[in-house]
Every structure is written in structure tokens, then in C-alpha cells.
Structure 1
Amino acid sequence: MKVGRMAVVRTTPARRGPWRSARDQYELVREFLRDARRYVRHSIPRGGPDRFDTLDGMYLDAATTRLYHRIEKGMTHPAPRRPFGDSVASRVSRAIASPGAAGEHQGFFVEHARRALDALDRWNADGEMTDDIAPLGSALPANPLDPATLAAFLESRHSVRSYDPDLPVDRAVIEEAVRLAGTAPSVCNRQAARAYYFDDRADIARVLSVHEGSAGFGKLLPGLFVVTYDLRAFEAARERNQGWIDGGLFAMTLLLALHGLGLGAIPLNWSRRNEASDLLREKAAIPEHENIVMLVGVGHPAPGHRVARSARRPLSQVLRIGMPPA
């Protein structure tokens, strides 16, 4: 009997393995298809930049920003052509004259598009370079931190899981951290990342009820971010993954900003299925057209808190310079 039972135990994984594999493949394909449908439903319609009369809201904002940013980038080349940008200028002009540009919340991109057009006109007419559109690099600090200070700052950032629950976080500090996170690069300066912040205990508990991996410390979090990106800022198949890149850059800059402002923070992984993301959108009042990148817990570290060692791989495993030997 003992041998028989052992034989059953040995053969069970072999019989269940293929079924698990088929199920996993089915679930993976299902999630990919749901992701694809969301992208098709919410991204900029095909041909959007040339159909300004059909666009409004973030669609028009992103499509126009992508164009006028080409003027800004053109003026940073070592030797900008003169004249240049006639085609782009024509399309930007059409965009800001379209019906959708008159919306209540469209002032930001319309103002900056007009300033880019004005700078381009002055450059093409008399060669005047506008500092507003292309500021001199020498006006910025070239190396504000010496190597030792820079290394100390970056190497001292760790994920904090122990917070002082009775010490609230000043919202002015949160606002400054998000402002600084907004300096993160994004494709064509479209800035699709969004940050939702919660510091009410009930709100934090409601959001974290959908999260996995924060049960041991989540109740002590004084503050919580949900970082997302707006699907309406992207277009065509080639940009299907760009939101994750831009959202990740924003999130990392947010973590460094919080660290530099004296707060502890922890990025909370959001590797979940679409059902969980839908539930989080519902609980946190996040629009359907935004994808969830991650959560970030934040607060003042508790006295004597500890952090995980988190050993780093040696440089030889991370960096390769040049082509490998033939």
C-alpha cells in the first residue's frame, strides 16, 4: 500500500502538469486580449494627428503636444535648419484652431503650442533663438552633486515598511514630490502619468484591500499613491507599451523626490489581472482610460526602522560596453 500511494503521488504532477499549462496559456491569452481591447478602445484613433476636427480632451492635447514638441526639439539641434517646420507648424495651427481646443481644460497645451509657433516664426524670419522654448543648457547646473554625494543619496534609498502611524505627512511635501516627479521624461513630452494620493485611513484600507503583499505593514501607512498613465496619450501599435515606460519613469522620479524630501516610501507591485485592476479603479475612483502602474506607500519612517539588504548584482552582470567578441 505504501508503494502504491507513493506511485500515485509521483504520477499526479505528471497528469496535472499539462492541464495547468493549458489553463495558464488560456489565462495569459485572455489577459493579453483584454489589454489589447482596452488600448484599442482608449488610445488616439488612427490618423488622429491629421484629424484634429474629430479630437478633443486628452486625445487632442497629446496629439498636438507631440507635434509642437518637435519644434522645441528642432531648436536644440547643434545647427538648426532655417527655415524649418512648415509642415509641423501648419498642423499645430490647425489643431489649436479646431473645435476641441476651445474646451475648458485645454488652455495648457494651447498656450504652449502658440508659444512654440511664435518662436518658430521668429527663428525662421530673423534667426532669433527663443530661450523660452530652447533655454541655454549653461543656465542649468551641469554637475550639482559630486560623485560621493550622488552615490550616498541614491544608495541610501531603500523601501521602508515601518512607519510612524501617528506622524502625518504634510500635503505640501506631497505636492512638491509630485511636481518634481513631473520632470521625468516622457515620449514627446506628453506627460501621461497621473498620481492619486490618499491619506485618509479608510481610503487607504479600501485601496489596499485589492493589493497583495502589503498585509504586514499596510495598516501603518500614513499615505498611499496610485500611479497610473492615461491611455488617451498614445496612438498606433508602436506605442502600445510606451505608457508603462513613461509611468515607470514617473514612479521612479517620485520615489527619489520623496526620498530627497525626507520621507520613506515603498513601491508596491501591481502584477494583477484585469479584474483586480477594474476593482481598484472602482475603489479609488480612477477613470477607465487609465492603466495602473503601481502603488507607492509613503510616510515618516518609524524610529529604529530596518530595511531589507536587497543585495545588488555586480556591475559585470548588468553592464556591457561595446559588442561581444565574435
Structure 2
Amino acid sequence: MKRFMRGIKCRLRLTRCYLYDLARFKRHSGLLNSCHDRVLADITTTYHIIEKGLSFKDCRPGFGVKKVTKLMNLLTEFERTGGDTSRSQYKAACNVLKAYVGSGQIQSSDDTQLLVADIKSFLEGKPTDNCRFFAGGVRILSKTDCIEASRGDFRKLSQNRYSIRTFAGGNVPMSKIYDAVEMAQKSPSTCNRQTSRVYVYSKKNTINEILAIHKGTRGFTEQIDKFILVAGDQKCCLGVGDRNQVYVDCGIFAMSLLYGLQYNRLGACILHWNVTPKKDLQLRKVAGVADNHTVVCMIAVGRLAEEFKVPVSQRRNLKSICFAMD
């Protein structure tokens, strides 16, 4: 009887905790609320999609027309509602539009010619300086750049890590993947429970099936040699306060894993797994993920090309994210 009552109390506490999470999400997320921060988040997401497209070796005809139009509309809305145009995301978005016009990759069509004219008109008087604080667009890196940065001081390593979407052909040795995972095992976890689990895929058919569900690697799917899922073991969660533990532990682990891959002179691109239950179930069936493992993120891995482009992915101003409290 005591065990039964303890189970009832635990379920009630868990329900209250998730209702608390739900209330906070409804109150503050951009899903149901409109504010300048929500618009800025949408601006950042949209310009980053354009950056990713510009980083590919070959752009398809009509690339970016819809997203660029959406970005200009978002920037206009932000201005119209009194948004602060000195914000780094706003300036970076303007620089991405400038990079789009000057990329030389846009295949000419009636739509793109009209769009380029609209962009040039839109950017008149806008802050499109190329200083590092408000950069946007793409940057050209070489294999040598990445190798030099991967074996030096940590600041150099961290400041030169980019999501890479252009890989050279050839096999990535599993020994390098294992070494990177072993490095990531030193990541801290709640009470050292080490909740992170790693699935590594090499077969092209399986990788393609997974990515057909994810739909986030269009333009470089065929270049991926190894594919990694980072998941958290729910069996390591011991109380209702642990309900988000796997996401925290796996997030820390995944970042360490990215550094480990970079240290091993490999290119990598982390991919989110923010999906509906339907997609999660589809993935589990295709990828063979254990039911008690919660997939947190994915990483595409390949060999470094001799030269490639990466999105600048401008970061926010330090003072906008770091608060010195008394």
C-alpha cells in the first residue's frame, strides 16, 4: 500500500512539474507571443538559412528567393514596431542580404533579378559594415586553417569551430570517431550518472533514411560519411527534478564531442532534433534507437575538403547574454 501511494504521489508531482514547464513555455516562448525578441529570433533563423545556402558549393536556380523576401519583411516589421536597429542580429541580417547580392552564385532568373534590385533598394542607408561584430554571410576556410586551429590553445579551437557542410569524399575511420567520443566522456553530468549514449551510422541507406525524416541536410546529404545520434538514457533519471536532465547532460556531451571531432581533424555539423512525437517514432523505427533513449541531437561527419565555405553565424553581443549580478 505504501509503495502504491508513493507511486501516486510521484505521478502527481511529475504532472505538476510538467504543468509548470508548460505554463512558462506558453508565457514566454515566441510560439504564442509577439515581441521584438521573438521577431529577432525569427530574423536570426531566417538569415542563417540563407547563410547555409550560400556556403554550399553550388546554389540551385532561384535559391533563397522566398527566404530573402521573408527576411526583408521581418526586418521591415522590426523597424516599423520600433525595434532597436543597433542590435547585432539586425545588423548581421543586413550583411547577409549584402552577401547574397554579392555572392556571384545566384543563378540569374527574372525572379532573382527583381529580388536583387529590391535588396539593393532595401539596404540603402542600412548598416552593412563588415566589422567582425556584425558580420554575416559566409567565410572561406581551408583544411590547413582547421588543422592549425584544432591543435592549439582552447581559445583558438573554440573560436574557429564552424558547422561544416562541405566534405571531401572518402571514409572517416571509426577510430577517430571512438577517440572523439572518448574525449567527450570527460564531460560533466548530473551526479556523474553519465546519461549520454552515442549511435554511429556508416551505411548510406540508413543515413539517408534518417535524413529523409530530419530534412535538414539538403544540399550536402550525399557528402556525409558518418552520422551520429546523441541520446540520453532516461533510466538514469531518478526523480521528478530530473525530467530535463538528459537534455542538459547530452548538450554538454555533444559540445565536447564536436571539439573532439575537430581535434581529430574532421568536419562536423550538428543538427537539432526538435520534432513532433510522430517524427520521433519514425526515427526510432529506422535508426534502431532504444525506447529508453531520448534523442537530443545529431551530428553529420565527413573528411575536411581542401577549401570550403562556412556560414559566419554571427553571435550576439556579449552584454546581451551575460549579466553581472550583485
SS class of match (1:215): coil
Aligned residue among 203, 206, 210 for 2:213: 210
2:168 is equivalent to residue 164 of structure 1: yes
The DSSP-based 3-state class of the residue aligned with 1:216 is: coil
Query: Structure 1 residue 301: deviation in Å?
Result: 2.2
Deviation per residue, 1:102-121 (Å, 9 max, x gap): xxxxxxxxxxxxxxxxxxxx
CA deviation after TM superposition for structure 1 residue 207, in Å? 1.5
Greater strand share, structure number: 2
Q: Distance in 2 between matches of 1:184 and 1:232?
A: 19
Higher relative contact order (CA 8 A, sep 6+): 2
The equivalent residue for 1:287 is 290
Query: 1:302 Cα deviation (Å)?
Result: 2.1
Report how far residue 233 of structure 1 moved: 0.4
Structure 2: how far apart are the matches of 1:286 and 1:150?
Answer: 34
Distance 2:154 2:252 in 1: 19
Is 2:305 the counterpart of 1:319? no
Counterpart of 1:153 (choices 157, 164, 171) is 157
8 Å contact 2:269–2:300 — kept in the other structure? yes
Normalised to the residue count of structure 2, the TM-score between the two structures is 0.53
User: Are the counterparts in 1 of residues 265 and 304 from structure 2 also a CA contact under 8 Å?
Assistant: no
Residue 263 of structure 1 aligns with an amino acid whose one-letter code is: L
Counterpart of 1:216, as a letter, is G
In structure 2, the residue matched to 1:300 is 303
Which amino acid letter does the alignment assign opposite residue 168 of structure 2?
Answer: D
Alpha-carbon distance in 2 for matches of 1:272, 1:195: 19
What stretches of structure 1 of length at least 5 have no aligned partner? 1-31, 37-144
Equivalent position amino acid for 1:295 in 2: M
Give a deviation string over 1:102-160, Cα, whole Å, max 9, x none: xxxxxxxxxxxxxxxxxxxxxxxxxxxxxxxxxxxxxxxxxxx99xx322111111000
**Equivalence for 1:256:** 259
The alpha-carbon deviation at position 246 of structure 1 amounts to 0.3
SS in 1 for 2:199: strand
Q: Judge conservation of contact 2:223–2:302 (CA < 8 Å) in 1.
A: no
Question: How far does residue 312 in structure 1 lie from its aligned partner after superposition?
Answer: 1.4
Report the equivalent of 2:272.
269
Q: Deviations over 1:264-292 (max 9, x none)?
A: 10101111011111111110111111111
Question: RMSD over aligned Cα, in angstroms?
Answer: 2.2
Instruction: Tell me if 1:195 matches 2:173.
Output: no
Structure 1 partner of 2:132:
none
Distance in 2 (CA, whole Å) between partners of 1:299 and 1:220 is: 7
2:207 and 2:215 map into 1 onto residues whose CA distance is: 14
Alpha-carbon distance in 2 for matches of 1:220, 1:264: 11
Question: Which runs of no fewer than 5 residues in structure 2 stay unpaired?
Answer: 1-17, 23-150
Measure, in 2, the Cα distance between the counterparts of 1:202 and 1:213: 17
Q: Partner amino acid for 1:162?
A: T
Give the 3-state SS of the residue equivalent to 2:167 in structure 1: coil
Q: Which secondary structure state, in structure 1, belongs to the residue aligned with residue 311 of structure 2?
A: coil
Q: Which of 206, 225, 238 is matched with 1:235 structurally?
A: 238
The one-letter code of the counterpart of 2:251 is G
Letter in 1 for 2:214: H
Rg (Cα) greater in structure: 1
Matches within 5 A, 1:76-225: 149-165=153-169, 167-225=170-228
Deviates more, 1:208-217 or 1:257-266: 208-217
1:16-55 superposed matches below 5 A: none
